[in-house]
Structure 1
Amino acid sequence: MTPETLRKIVRYGYFPFMFFGLNGAAYYVVVNDHSPLWIAAGIGFLLLTAIGTAFAAERILPWYDEWNDSHGDEHTNVVHAIVYELQNLNGVLTIPLMGWLFSGGMSAGIWPRDWPIWAQLIMAVVLADFALMFLHYLSHRFAFLWRLHAVHHGVSRLYGFNGLVRHPLHQIIDMVLGTAPLALAGMPVQVAILLGFAISVQLIIQHSNVAYALGPFRNHLSIGQIHHLHHVNWGKEGDCNFGLFLTIWDRLLGTFNPEPPRPITASDMGIDEVPQFPKGYVQQLVFPIHYRPGEGPPKNLTTAAAKARAIHDAAE
């Protein structure tokens, strides 16, 4: 196989494989009445497949070669990914309890449990997409939320792992306000597992450094360069394209922008007022404590970073 053929396979096959292929495989794993341990192993394997596929495709057909270079963030991003998925798992495990406590038993609720699982999943994705988009929008409008969300925007490049970079407190807010209402409505655990997996894979696709083709769907899916524009460090110019799956909510909100005002370069990612964003995981955890939006880099960021490093070293 020639390099050009391989690049064409990635260009036209990356998104269908990641979105339809892996989510379809997850659907097969979940709905076939396997044991919880088998389901956990299957979903874990598929998630690792998504990460591995993104990593390989980024080397074959990158948007920017510079984003494949080490930025000193690999270890931190792995920790972010592990914490993100563990919190997802905790969220799924609490669904039966939430249903029993707030819905009068697992058979109660307004969720259409008689629908096919695939139809319930589509509805869950659409509802969650709207809720998460609106929370994302609010996270760029309110200082408290932005200080937490800034941990995600501090990245200096975009690649698959960046999608799972979240401050744990911000992820909890997303789960409580974005997806917990679906659980309270009676969403089954099967659907919750598939929804959580679909969101994780979408985050990996959305931040992948892969020049995949979308054809006529380019302006209808919140991925690729639509999301690159959201991450630019051009001040308020990046306050657009908040969606996770679809651009329809941004269109309704008036925040959709399909084209950047100037070409995006590999060095345009990050937060304009904090160009030297901390690289360590513990440093990023404490960053919101010291960061004051609009006042430039935290004056005591160096001191905070040193303290965080000492805590990290002591823990090891």
Structure 2
Amino acid sequence: MIALFGLLALVLERLLPYERAWLDGPDWNLDFTYYLVNYLIKVTAYFGILWVTSLVAFPKWFPTRWPFWGQVLLALTLIDFFLFFVHWQSHRYRWLWKLHAVHDSSERLYFLNGEKRHALHQVLEGLPGIGVCLLVGTPPPVIAAALALLAINMMMQHTNLDYRAGWLKKLFCVAELHRWHHRADYADAQVNYGAWLTVWDRLFGTAYDAPAMNNAQLLGPVGITEERSFPTSYLGQLLYPFRRVRVPGPKATPDPTP
């Protein structure tokens, strides 16, 4: 299912691109490598969930009597909050930022780089929400379905597709909103951290919406402009957070403003 959505996104981007300059680039192999590695991490995590639930009797607090789709949406909402929170904090603490900078270093946005994440940051983002789901007794198939929906949403959130979400962007973190977060100007991009729902950004005062988001020229370049030597290989980016380099981002202590 995820592969079919990826193919559909690829075709739609060619037919109706938001920014034609983003249609092609030298980063396809890199981003595809990230996709494969991080997909493997998710598959491994799922088998880990099955193993843990076979050994530990977790509380039965999760509403398993709900329809399956309702259970999936609830699990996704729990996971989504922690994704938002870790993402937000990754822009406030330097040690987290250097891991997350790998994702924000992309100089074009398209469906495949939605999964471009440092392996360690992938674990740090996903573990809290999945852990809470386990602690309240969420069935493993429900968690798997929630993660599948999230993977599709990450494709659409980063897609190079020129569309308008209308009132849906009041609820969901669509590409119109998320592109601004990827602006190359670090100071101006500290908004719209959500992965699925916009409610967390609204609650914590980090939501931003403006007509300029629909104009590629006003959006400007994406990536990390100030970092001129960002590695372009997977291994180089895997080691990047541990290099002694000056990279734009948060100070060692959190900034009191969003």
The answer, yes or no, to whether TM exceeds 0.5 is yes
Select the residue among 160, 168, 191 that pairs with 2:142.
191
User: Could you tell me which residue of structure 1 aligns to residue 57 of structure 2?
Assistant: 105
Conservation of the 8 A alpha-carbon contact between 2:227 and 2:247? no
SS at match of 1:245: coil
Conservation of the 8 A alpha-carbon contact between 1:98 and 1:183? no
User: Could you tell me which residue of structure 2 aligns to residue 75 of structure 1?
Assistant: 29
1:1-316 alignment to 2 at 5 Å? 46-70=1-25, 72-101=26-55, 104-105=56-57, 108-259=59-210, 264-265=216-217, 268-290=221-243, 291-294=245-248
Distance of 1:294 and 1:163 partners within structure 2: 22
SS at match of 2:170: coil
C-alpha change, 1:96 and 1:69, in structure 2 (3 Å) is closer
Conservation of the 8 A alpha-carbon contact between 2:112 and 2:155? yes
Conservation of the 8 A alpha-carbon contact between 2:18 and 2:216? no
Conservation of the 8 A alpha-carbon contact between 1:220 and 1:247? yes
As a proportion of its length, which structure holds more helix?
1
Q: What is the TM-score of this pair, normalised by structure 1?
A: 0.73
Residue 240 of structure 1 and its aligned partner are, at CA, apart by 0.3
Conservation of the 8 A alpha-carbon contact between 1:229 and 1:264? no
**Percentage of identical aligned residues:** 32
Residue 284 of structure 1 and its aligned partner are, at CA, apart by 0.8
C-alpha change, 1:122 and 1:82, in structure 2 (3 Å) is same
Distance of 2:178 and 2:50 partners within structure 1: 35
The higher radius of gyration belongs to 1
Distance of 2:170 and 2:63 partners within structure 1: 31
Letter in 1 for 2:232: K
Q: Which has the higher contact order (CA 8 A, sep 6+)?
A: 2
The answer for unaligned runs of 5 or more in structure 2 is 250-258
Conservation of the 8 A alpha-carbon contact between 1:155 and 1:277? no
Q: Deviations over 1:145-180 (max 9, x none)?
A: 100000000000000011010000000111222322
Letter in 2 for 1:287: Y
Distance of 2:220 and 2:232 partners within structure 1: 16
